[in-house]
Amino acid sequence: MAKGKKTTIKEIKRINDDIILVNGKEYVIIEDEKDIESAITMKISSHGNRILRFEDLKKKATIDVKRDIKVIKITFTDKHRASRFKKSHDQSIISLSDKEETIGKASSHIKARDIISNLTSKDSPNYDKQSGLTTFYITHEIK
């Protein structure tokens, strides 16, 4: 579906608190709305999310295509390569001697960024002091 194109919703069903089925495809709810099942059209926004429109034009909900995303923690053994990775984010710098650990899985990029933010934000109780020095958090979409 191209950006800006409107699609009429034929079938909509809430599967659980954060997953919805629209016209046979699963989506993750980003911004929920009361009675989300009453949406009548879906439009793609400029940043790729889908916006659900209702008969009441003031109401709208935002959804995104459901994905399987792995959040990975990479700990570099060499500080020089870690500083090069910090500047370029070139994954070819990662070697077999570096430690990779799967932190979690998410169903959307927003949820993956929340997991990473929880570990890299200084205000968070789970703050990783080595984050940005020798430890980095990246995401991989599982196809």
Checking if the pLDDT of 1 tops 80, the result is no
Q: For the chain, how many structural domains are there in total?
A: 2
pLDDT band at 5 (very low <50, low <70, confident <90, very high): confident
Give the pLDDT confidence of 50-99 residue by residue, as tens digits: 999 999 888 999 998 888 999 999 999 999 999 999 999 999 999 999 99
Q: For residue 110, what are the contacts with CB-CB under 8 A and spacing of at least 6?
A: 28, 30, 64
- Residue 125: give the domain boundaries: 68-142
Same structural domain for residues 74 and 130?
Answer: yes
Give the pLDDT confidence of 69-79 residue by residue, as tens digits: 999 999 999 99
Same structural domain for residues 85 and 135?
Answer: yes
| Domain-embedded: residue 110 | yes
Same structural domain for residues 77 and 137?
Answer: yes
Are residues 84 and 91 in contact, defined by beta-carbon separation less than 8 angstroms? Answer: no
Mean pLDDT across 103-115: 90
Same structural domain for residues 72 and 131?
Answer: yes
